Amino acid sequence: MSVDIKVVEENWQTTRPTIRERSKFILNSDLFSDVKFVIGRTDGESESNRGRQVIPAHKFVLSISSPVFEAMFYGELAETRDSIELPDCEYDSLLELFRYMYSDEVNLSESNVMAVLYLAKKYMVPSLADKCMAYLENNVDPSDVFSVLPVAQKYEEKKLMDRCWEVIDKQTEEAVKSDGFAAIERSLLEAVVMRDTLSIEEIELFKAVDLWATKEGERQGLPADGAFKRRVLGEKVVKGLRFPTMKQNDFASVVLDSKILTPDEIITIIKCLSPVPTYPVEFPEIRRSSFGVNTHRCCTYDRFLKSPSADDSCTKWTCTLEFLMDNDITLHGVGFFGALHSSYSIDIAVMDTEEKQVMGSKSGEFFSNNLKCKAGCYNGFEVMLDSGVVLVKNTLYRIQAAVTGSLTRPGVNDLDTVLCAGVKFGFNHRADWRNENGSGTSSSELNYFSLSK
């Protein structure tokens, strides 16, 4: 057993003027302790099993911090034993839970944060769970993102989920080559493969998917041949891979050897990769939008003038922005202002005003976060089109969006002309929002374009 035995100084209470300091002093101490927690499973040999560790605690302190402990010690079926075994946690993580209950302090690290989060959820200490989520959000990286994301999904932590997907989108190759990717559930694998915003060569994504299938064969104790891989991956994953965007050499040397594809699929893809005209294949033929595109952000303002304002009465509104430019560009997406941590339903269209035709569109649900730009920090979200829209110079275009969500915008210094990546934009009709009652204002909700030349 491991017990932190303190030599109690005389009149120790007088040297610790706050209740926090006095409570912290008795943490992990036998002083006034009326319950002990035993961590680790016994092997049936004896109660003094060397593998077990003990943390002395105080029922009152735990109960005023956790309704679970309150029920355990003071409820109708109160625990009467002096020693409670907890086989589902580790000594260090339980000690950090108690440290927070005794002192409002916690020492989180990469090695303990997941275990502490589990205990914070189990014993209903939401403020500690929030600290764990914030730690994960600030420290998640490609090496552990596929370990963190399932936890965020399990606890329905939207902000942390968004942060994980941001890391996956921006550092895809590092993320899918991590050990965590090979162990994810097939549902998450499917979500990754279907994602258009990954930044990775398709052949590298295929290698990671193929390795996942191989590891799944090892987990099931089955030979990971082509038929097994096809079955365990499922048609949605296989058909979500963009084989037509690969180089011929990569397809021939890597994909064919995996034996995942059928002979007919191989023939059609080879035709697609060659100059031979062919009919459309059953696989996506467009590269993922975030890969290989040198994008720029063209802001419609250069500084904020005041704090964000909100109009909670306006939950359905439209905004439009007409513009032209002196060079051809490809439009990839549009940024919007939005209330922090709020969801928005968007239906956006990019139109050629002269030909009166829709060049591109996007609909869906989006979530607003804290973002940064040259003008400072702001709350908003971006809507990326499924594929880039080519816009021709000296042509008047209109971006129009129908939005459901809380109307929130900072005061900005709107610009009539903007020079972005060597392209001059002119805004001859400022963005105009109108609510469902028809009233409106000239302040812009559309705050930037994502474009490439």
| Overall fold of domain 12-137 | Potassium Channel Kv1.1; Chain A (3.30.710)
Q: Is 388 exposed, middle or buried (0-12, 13-18, 19+ CB in 10 A)?
A: buried
The pair of structure tokens assigned to 63 is 């109960």
Which phi and psi (to 5°) does residue 65 adopt?
A: -110, -15
pLDDT-derived band at 25 (thresholds 50, 70, 90) equals very high
- Residue 227 above 50 pLDDT? yes
Q: Is 21 helix (H, G, I), strand (E, B) or coil?
A: helix
pLDDT tens digits for 33-45?
999 999 974 444 4
Kindly give, in sequence order, each residue whose CB lies less than 8 Å from that of residue 171, ignoring residues fewer than 6 positions away.
141, 142, 199
CATH number for the region 296-452 comes to 2.60.120.820
Question: Which of 143-147, 425-429, 442-446: highest mean pLDDT?
Answer: 143-147
Q: Is 23 helix (H, G, I), strand (E, B) or coil?
A: helix
Can you give the pLDDT at residue 365?
Answer: 79
- Residue 72 above 90 pLDDT? yes
Contact of 53 with 2, CB cutoff 8 Å: yes
Asked if 145-273 and 296-452 have one fold, the answer is no
The pair of structure tokens assigned to 346 is 């968007």
Can you give the pLDDT at residue 43?
Answer: 45
Place of tokens 């911090």: 65
The pair of structure tokens assigned to 302 is 């250069």
Q: Is 306 helix (H, G, I), strand (E, B) or coil?
A: strand
- Residue 5 above 50 pLDDT? no
Considering only CA atoms, which of 221, 177, 226 is closest in space to residue 200? Answer: 177
Domain ranges of the chain: 12-137, 145-273, 296-452
Can you give the pLDDT at residue 273?
Answer: 79
Can you give the pLDDT at residue 46?
Answer: 47
Query: First and final CA of the chain: distance in angstroms?
Result: 67
Q: Select the more confidently predicted residue: 379 or 446.
A: 379
CA distance 242 to 111: 37
pLDDT-derived band at 442 (thresholds 50, 70, 90) equals very low
Can you give the pLDDT at residue 320?
Answer: 83
* Arithmetic mean of pLDDT over the chain: 83
CA distance 13 to 117: 32
CA distance 344 to 283: 31
pLDDT-derived band at 225 (thresholds 50, 70, 90) equals very high
Contact of 192 with 176, CB cutoff 8 Å: yes
pLDDT-derived band at 412 (thresholds 50, 70, 90) equals low
Cα-Cα-Cα-Cα dihedral of 42, 46, 51, 53, to 10°?
A: 90
Q: Is 350 helix (H, G, I), strand (E, B) or coil?
A: strand
Place of tokens 């990569």: 250
CA distance 141 to 164: 8
What angle, rounded to 10 degrees, do the helices at 126-139 and 145-154 form?
150
CA distances from 65 to 58, 62, 82, 106, 425 (A): 11, 5, 20, 14, 58
- Residue 143 above 70 pLDDT? yes
pTM of the model: 0.61
Can you give the pLDDT at residue 60?
Answer: 95
Name beta bridge partners: 399: 321, 350
CATH number for the region 145-273 comes to 1.25.40
Can you give the pLDDT at residue 435?
Answer: 56
- Residue 291 above 70 pLDDT? no
* C-alpha gyration radius of the chain: 29
Place of tokens 């365990």: 232
- Residue 216 above 50 pLDDT? yes
Kindly give, in sequence order, each residue whose CB lies less than 8 Å from that of residue 163, ignoring residues fewer than 6 positions away.
137, 140
